[in-house]
Structure formats: C-alpha cells, structure tokens
Structure 1
Amino acid sequence: MSTTTSNPPISNEVALRIALAVRVLPEISLTELIEALQDNVGEVLNEAALSRITVTNLKTAFGQTYDLDGEEEGEDANAGDIAALKEAVRILWGAKDEAEALPTIEPYQDGEMPHSVRIAVASNNRELLDGHFGSCLRYLVYQLSATTLKLIDIRSALEADLSDDRNGFRINLIRDCHVVYIVSIGGPAAAKVVQAGIYPMKLIEGGEARAILTDLQTVIATAPPPWMAKVLGIAEGDRVKNYKAIEAS
C-alpha cells in the first residue's frame, strides 16, 4: 500500500490510539491493524471513524490469526484473545491511561525566537527520547534558543509503515528541523538524514527530552560548534574559537 493518496494525514490523537491498540494485539502488526480499520470504516481514519469500530470487526479481520473460529462450549482458551480485542476497541474509542497522554504543544510563531534551532526528538512515550529513527511512533519538535525551549509540534510517524520509502517519509516529516535526537539509527538512514541537512544526535540511553535539550541549551549559550553557530545566525567573528563539539553516544 502506498501513501500517495489525497487522504488527510492521521492526526496525533488517532495515531496515538492506533499505536496503543496495536500494543495489546501482539500477533498483529501496525500495518495489518491500519488496513483492517480502513477496510471497516474507510480510508480516512479519524476519531469519528474509530468510534464505529467493534469487537466483531476485529474478530472478522483477525479471527484466523487469533484462532477465534469454532470455539467449543465450555472452552476458554480464546478468552485472552477476546479480552485483547475488547481492550483494543476500548483504546480505539479513546480510553487510555493518563500516563500515555501526549505532552501539550506550546504556541509558537515563526521568527519569534531569534538565534534558535528546531530539534526533532524520536519518541514512543510521553515526552521521552526513547525511539529508533526508523520505528518511533512520533517526533516531538522543539524550538530552542539559549534561553527558551518550546514544544511546538508533535508529528505522528504512524503512516511511515505504509510508505514505499519509510526513511524518506520520516525525513520529510522533520525536514524543517536542524537536528534529530534518536536512541539508534542505521547507517543508510543516517546518511539520508545528513544528506537532507539534518544533524543526527544519537543518545543510546535516551531520557527526558526536556532535560536533554536543556543540556543542549548550555552548549548553545557557551560554546556552540561552528555548524550550530551558523544555524543560529551567530556571526563568525562572535563565535567561541575553542569549543567542545557535541558528540553522539
């Protein structure tokens, strides 16, 4: 299936529901779940469409995978599978734990933060850096200067799995960013990211996104490397000559 359609993109809320639902369906891939949803409610996936999904819909789509056919009277071997489908439907309808809620996007207008950079953070949960470039659920996008840090957007990467060029899809999502933080990235993907003019920063241990970016603010305020100083619009004569470059883990 290709993403070259005129359908509107999946919203952050819908993407979150689908991503959480697939976690409780261990035998089902993200692509399989999206295709099952589209088969039942149409190509456009929005909150109204998800509210029409039923356990029967999912049983029909995944019955063979979950061996749900022909259950004998008194046999409860499939009870766990039915429970998983019910939980998935509950999540698709909008019920989710508070801990899974997305962080709040802060108001921002282009140009309001002079000498700032735009940073993407590969994330799967809350406001954490915990994602691989090629498989994270979303990118948290921050505008960052030496004194100010704002979360200005959250971009779902859910549809990347339906694209003919998954890495290209992800790069296009963050093409306006100067830096992307990831816990891991493959060599070919890293080369494409660099070619797109985005600087990959690998932190294997991950962590709280804001804490990591606060450390970056310190670097910006004290000794930005030349490439970052150029992005920030700091004149060459004003740059600190002796700096410690940011190193990828």
Structure 2
Amino acid sequence: MSAAMTREAALRVALAARELPDVGGAALAKAIGDRLGLPLGESRLAAISVDDLREILGGSHADENCVIGASDEQLKRAVRLLWGQGVSGSELPALDPYDEGDLPGSIRVACASNRGEEVDGHFGSCERFLIYQVNTTEIRLVATRPTLEADAAEDRNASRAALITDCQLLYIQSIGGPATAKVVRAGVHPVKAPDGGSARLMLERLQQALNHPPPWLARVMGCTPDLAARFMSEDDVRDEDAELADKPA
C-alpha cells in the first residue's frame, strides 16, 4: 500500500475499479489522486460525486474510452463503493443512524483506533478517530475520521486535535505531553486507557458515570464553567465514580 493512501481507501478504489470496464485499480487511484490531491483517504473519497468520477475517468491517467464504456449505473455503483457503502471486507465499523439532536443530554466522544471498534491507538499514530454520541441510554457511532491527511500538516498534533474539536472526550492508549496540551486547548478532555480494549465497553462505563457525574466529568459536560485540565486514566474515572456512589444523591 502506498504511504499516500490508507488501507481502507485502497480497498474502496480497488472495488470501485471492478465496476468500471477496462479501468485498473492503480490507474483509478492515480487519476483520483491527481484530481483530489494526496494523501488519499476516506474523507476525500467520501466527497466524490458521479460527475466528479466521470471527469476523473476522462483524464489522461484513465484508460482510453473508459467513460464511454461505463454506464450511469456503473458510475453510481463505483461512487457508492468509494464512499464505503456496502464494502465487503472493510476494516471500518458500520455507522449508526444519527441526526443532530437525536440523543438529548448526550456528549461526543472520540476514540483513537487502528482496527474495528477498538481503542488501540497512540494519539500521534492512530489511523483514525471513531466518533461516538453517548447519553445514559444509547451509544451511537456517528463518524470515522482518518488521520492520514492531518499528518501532512506542518503541526501534526494540532491537525489531529482539529479533527475532534466537536468532541468533549478523547479515549487513547497513550499521548505525549505536548499533544495533550493541544488536545486540551482544543476543548477536549483526554482519558488514557493504557491497556486498550473495546470502545463500546469503555463507553458503557462512561454511560453509568453520566447519571451521577463526578466533578471532572461534570466540568467536561459543561455543568461547571471551566473544562477540566487534569489528565486521567480509566482507573481514575472509575475511582471517582465509586467515590460519588458513596455520597447521597
């Protein structure tokens, strides 16, 4: 796999190429990269329209007459695959239906991930952030945000932090001091889970804390004026929850 393309993007391009007569995967990847720019990740592919693909295939890097040989239905199927719809073997988990306002009283949580719905990534090297909307009764995966394009920026940590500025919490296995400062400055509270594990299991524990949030979580939720700047581990979260449970409601 080229360093200019994520594994997921490479899979989508290869599957889309199969829908187009006489177009090879390498030629299609180069044509899309020339049109949209590199690095080529899921976010760029998600922006492609049928008209874009028709013009891309007509470029100098596509096989000759490929547009004439592709019907509108073939172009539509190829675009859906580039978006990730119905991609068999995708390493990305399926998103849950979500419209803004669906989960009253919810918070948004980012999880550093390299595979599936696992928290298994370092902030500076994870392949993507999984974005969840969480309230006391539901957990929904609402977005996946690849980090490859952020790594092309001059300040990688700041660019990665910019991907999750709409989140209140970030679960990661590890993160360095300078990166922590940039994440907190972006208004996001980092929670370290050194052993990693299932994102949903971690969020289920968070759900329990949302009913009676400890002081640090109350600040993150906006119940008090200032965002907590302390850096805590999952064990700290559970310890504070236990302390709160001993107090009267």
Instruction: Please indicate, yes or no, whether the TM-score normalized by the shorter chain is above 0.5.
Output: yes
**Counterpart check, 1:212 vs 2:202:** yes
TM-superposed CA distance for 1:228, in Å, is 2.5
Q: How many residues are paired up?
A: 173
Task: Choose the corresponding residue for 2:164, options 148, 171, 174.
Answer: 174
Task: Choose the corresponding residue for 1:229, options 210, 213, 218.
Answer: 218
1:158 match: secondary structure: coil
Map 1:17-166 to 2 at 5 A.
Answer: 17-18=9-10, 41-44=33-36, 45=40, 46=45, 98=89, 100-166=90-156
Q: Does the aligned pair in 1 maintain the 2:130–2:141 contact within 8 Å? A: yes
Over 3 Å counting, the alpha-carbon distance change for 1:183 and 1:19 in structure 2 is farther
2:132 match: secondary structure: strand
Q: Distance in 1 between matches of 2:119 and 2:193?
A: 8
TM-superposed CA distance for 1:226, in Å, is 2.5
Q: Which residue does the alignment assign to 1:4?
A: none
Q: Does the aligned pair in 1 maintain the 2:114–2:126 contact within 8 Å? A: yes
1:120 match: secondary structure: strand
Listed as ranges, the gaps of 5+ residues in structure 2 are 14-28, 63-81, 226-234, 240-249
TM-superposed CA distance for 1:114, in Å, is 1.7
TM-superposed CA distance for 1:233, in Å, is 6.0
Q: Does the aligned pair in 2 maintain the 1:117–1:231 contact within 8 Å? A: no
TM-score (norm 2): 0.58
Q: Does the aligned pair in 1 maintain the 2:151–2:160 contact within 8 Å? A: no
Q: Distance in 2 between matches of 1:41 and 1:146?
A: 42
Over 3 Å counting, the alpha-carbon distance change for 1:193 and 1:235 in structure 2 is closer
1:42 match: secondary structure: helix
Q: Does the aligned pair in 1 maintain the 2:6–2:148 contact within 8 Å? A: no
**Counterpart check, 1:246 vs 2:233:** no
Q: Which residue does the alignment assign to 2:184?
A: 194
TM-score (norm 1): 0.58
TM-superposed CA distance for 1:220, in Å, is 1.4
TM-superposed CA distance for 1:166, in Å, is 0.6
TM-superposed CA distance for 1:19, in Å, is 9.4
Q: Distance in 2 between matches of 1:184 and 1:247?
A: 18
Q: Does the aligned pair in 2 maintain the 1:19–1:137 contact within 8 Å? A: no
Q: Distance in 1 between matches of 2:32 and 2:142?
A: 34
Q: Which has the higher contact order (CA 8 A, sep 6+)?
A: 1
2:205 match: secondary structure: helix
Q: Distance in 2 between matches of 1:130 and 1:202?
A: 11
The residue type paired with residue 213 of structure 2 is: P
Task: Choose the corresponding residue for 1:16, options 5, 8, 13.
Answer: 8
Over 3 Å counting, the alpha-carbon distance change for 1:147 and 1:188 in structure 2 is same
Q: Distance in 2 between matches of 1:201 and 1:126?
A: 19
Q: Distance in 1 between matches of 2:148 and 2:11?
A: 8
Q: Does the aligned pair in 2 maintain the 1:119–1:180 contact within 8 Å? A: yes
Over 3 Å counting, the alpha-carbon distance change for 1:175 and 1:246 in structure 2 is same
Listed as ranges, the gaps of 5+ residues in structure 1 are 1-9, 22-36, 54-91, 237-243
Identity value in percent: 42
2:99 match: secondary structure: coil
